[in-house]
Amino acid sequence: MIEKKHGAILILSGPSGCGKSTLLKEVYKNIDEYYFSISTTTRKPREGEKEGVDYFFTSKEDFQEDIKAGHFLEWAEVHGNYYGTSLKPIKKALEKGKLVIFDIDVQGHEIVRKKLGEKVTSVFITTPSLEELEERLTSRNTDSKEVIEKRLENAKYEIKYFQKYDYFLINDDLKEASKQLVSIANSTRIKSKLFEKELATIWMK
């Protein structure tokens, strides 16, 4: 008997303000058997952020110890803070045949792709333009002017990597963008590379 679906990884990247979190909420409503990978970070929680939901918040010291112990699939320093992904829960979810969803940056994407190669499908999400990103960041009113500047600089840097991703998704219409992201999520687990090479033989038995 051939397994119809396999464990796979869906990586989402894109500048803060591109609407990733809102899109993700739509995805969750419309797919099953997923596991959202929660990052660990040393940055301070923003208003409303919850431990174990948005991030696992930790100290720089503990984070550095975990790096040494090899507990991270990937980690990076961004804007002076550490962000990382613990390996254990990912492995478990993949073994169970789940779709593991990551919200990580371009550096993280590169590392995970290198390490878990064929299991990965990735989407770069962005606004239609840089101006629109600035507008969204300003109007959400959560960051200081300096932080917004930093995010915009970072966005300019990240978008250069869009062709390393499998898909490029412009989020200018939430309904349409959600539909496309759900479509991508629904198809990742039947990529032919996830099936065993011996499948042809199994099929003929």
Where does residue 74 fall: left (phi above 0), alpha (psi -120 to 50 degrees), or beta otherwise? beta
Size of the site for a copy of itself (CB under 8 A): 39
126 binds a copy of itself (CB under 8 A): yes
* Alpha helices for 51-188 (secondary structure H): 60-68, 87-95, 106-116, 130-140, 145-158, 174-188
187 binds a copy of itself (CB under 8 A): yes
151: part of which helix (H) or strand (E)?
A: helix 145-158
Considering only 129, 135, 140, 174, the residue that binds a copy of itself (CB under 8 A) is: 129
Crossing angle for the helix pair 130-140 and 145-158, to the nearest 10 degrees = 150
State the Cα–Cα distance between residues 92 and 87, nearest whole angstrom.
9
Q: Position of tokens 């990733």?
A: 20
Considering only 92, 128, 140, 149, the residue that binds a copy of itself (CB under 8 A) is: 128
25 binds a copy of itself (CB under 8 A): no
Paired strand residues for 35: 100
Q: Please, how many CA atoms are within 13 Å of residue 119, restricted to the half-sphere of its CB?
A: 21
- Minimum Å gap between C-beta 27 and a copy of itself is 12
69 binds a copy of itself (CB under 8 A): no
State the Cα–Cα distance between residues 18 and 172, nearest whole angstrom.
9
Contacts of 86 (CB under 8 A, 6+ apart): 40, 66, 71, 72, 73
Considering only 28, 107, 130, 136, the residue that binds a copy of itself (CB under 8 A) is: 130
Which amino acid type is present at position 36? Answer: F
Q: Which is nearer to a copy of itself, 70 or 203 (CB)?
A: 203
126: part of which helix (H) or strand (E)?
A: strand 120-126
21 binds a copy of itself (CB under 8 A): no
Considering only 53, 67, 147, 199, the residue that binds a copy of itself (CB under 8 A) is: 199
Considering only 2, 29, 70, 141, the residue that binds a copy of itself (CB under 8 A) is: 2
Q: Which is nearer to a copy of itself, 39 or 127 (CB)?
A: 127
174 binds a copy of itself (CB under 8 A): no
Q: Which is nearer to a copy of itself, 54 or 134 (CB)?
A: 134
Which residues lie near a copy of itself (CB under 8 A)?
1-2, 4, 124, 126, 128-130, 156, 159-160, 162-170, 172, 179-180, 182-184, 186-187, 190-193, 195, 197, 199-200, 203-205
